[in-house]
Structure 1
Amino acid sequence: MVAGASNDNAARLWHLKTGRIRLTLTGHVGKVYSARFNGDSTKVITGSHDRTIKVWDLQKGYCIRTIFSFSSCNDVVPLDDEGTTLVSGHLDNNLRFWDVRSGKDIKELTGIHLGQITSVSVSPDGAKVLTNSRDNTLKIVDLRTYDVEQTLQYAMFLFVSTFFPINLLM
């Protein structure tokens, strides 16, 4: 399956072999900016302009948790295979960590960017988070200390950020 976020306040899942929509996830009241599978693809996590993060059970086909995120959510990524811990990047320039079971925030990092965080990625080993911002920087955050480990900067806006296994870069 493929998950897609949409400007019509929904997320959709397509079956790759047939090309047909398998499921439409409705419930957000703002544009959906992010849709990600958890590790075993039993759930989809969505982030929206409506300042919520939703967790969708794909077997049941409905939302099992809504998290109020205080700011428009531009991207959200599970930190573990089960999807019990999430990290999200926001319009207010902040990075937030969430416990899905309780719906509460674990940690909020403020001041690491001067512009909105547009995307978030987790390293393959789960030890670091890469953020991309409209301030023309990428930041690598160590998840043990929540400190910015490295800043990468360029003079124009970067559109995509992701971690690659280190052996692909050498």
Structure 2
Amino acid sequence: KKKKKKKKKKKKKKQMRYFQPLKIAQGHVGNVTSVKFSPNSEQLVSASTDGTVRIWDVKSGIDIKVLRGHMEAIYEAYFSPDGKSIVSCSRDKTIRIWEAESGKEIRRIGECPSATLSAQFSPDGKTIVSGSYDKQIRLWNVNSGHLIKKLEGHSRVVCDVQFSPDGQMVVSSSFDNTIILWNTQSGEKIHQLRGHSGVVLKTKFSPDCCNIVSCSSDNTIRIWDVLSGKEVRTLQGHDKAVTGVHYSPDGQIIVSCAKDSTVRIWDVKSGNQIQKLEGHFDCVNDVNFSTNGNTIASSSLDETIRLWWWQY
């Protein structure tokens, strides 16, 4: 009897995500330095050199609240994990907390001796981490506004700070061309990552906390292993300084933006560029994924926020 040949199971092809333009949100009258989704992805918060923080309705693309109080350019604004508060940091040397629903200022955090470039809530919403011109990283108590501790290690301006998704670590990037991983509890350095030949403008953790992605004025994006501190991969494609990076919620793709006015999508596993999104006509400063991974928001020196949508 002839043996029946076993049919080979066809491998399911991995579905690629291709994003297309969805909306342009206009309202700022200055460089839009930062854009972030709310935890439910129904709203966006943006910061600008025009001295305002704006809350946007994602569905309509309309700004529903304008938060005024900062006296100078605002570098970053983030929602709290519960979506009820917003933290913003500015050249005016203040970090402010706002009530998202009313748009009213609730509190000013501590005393900052210099301009703060980056500030973000911890995953439990109880702590804020900030990075400043004075090379310092600070951890603040949200309720009291008091300083908990300083993390010292960078030799130049701190550009960006971020908590790990589990809250156990902080990652920082600097004008000294390095990235530092910190233990949140002890304040000790875990690793100092070297490899970029330019200013490291942004760093972000992968959702599983195993990797870090960084971007630099050396035109590259690099992926690092958290445990070893070793570089895993370099992503190249942008032809000017890469100003922003963000992981998709499933950790499979990275979105980046640059001074070359483009937003690019990368496959994490292969390091290949999947897509180039064009539409902004000046430097793109920041990119962010919605919590379901279907929408990307980008903000630019062209004073607009653009939404890019993956139709699945």
1:140 aligned residue = 181
What number of residue pairs does the alignment pair up? 168
1:5 aligned residue = 47
- Deviation by residue 1:63-105 (Cα, 9 ceiling, x = unmatched): 0001232221100011133x33111000000000111211111
TM-score normalized by structure 1? 0.93
2:159 aligned residue = 118
Find the partner of 2:56 among 5, 10, 14: 14
Counterpart residue type for residue 52 of structure 1 = T
Cα deviation for residue 157 of structure 1 reads 1.8
Instruction: Indicate whether 1:77 and 2:120 are aligned.
Output: yes
Cα deviation for residue 30 of structure 1 reads 1.3
Relative contact order, CA 8 A, sep 6+: which one is greater? Answer: 2
**Greater radius of gyration (CA):** 2
2:240 aligned residue = none
Return 5+ residue gaps in structure 2 as ranges: 1-42, 212-250, 252-267, 270-312
- Deviation by residue 1:99-147 (Cα, 9 ceiling, x = unmatched): 121111111123x101110001111111000001000000000112111
Cα deviation for residue 10 of structure 1 reads 1.1
Alignment of 1:32-111 (within 5 A): 32-67=74-109, 68-81=111-124, 83-110=125-152
Identity %, equivalent residues: 32
SS in 1 for 2:201: coil
1:129 aligned residue = 170
Partners of 1:80 and 1:156 lie apart in 2 by 30
1:150 aligned residue = 191
Counterpart residue type for residue 58 of structure 1 = A
Cα deviation for residue 27 of structure 1 reads 0.1
Partners of 1:32 and 1:84 lie apart in 2 by 22
Counterpart residue type for residue 142 of structure 2 = V
TM-score normalized by structure 2? 0.52
1:26 aligned residue = 68
Partners of 1:58 and 1:96 lie apart in 2 by 24
- Runs of 4+ in structure 1 deviating by more than 3 angstroms, as ranges, are 167-170
Counterpart residue type for residue 138 of structure 1 = I
Q: CA RMSD in A?
A: 1.5
Partners of 1:108 and 1:145 lie apart in 2 by 11
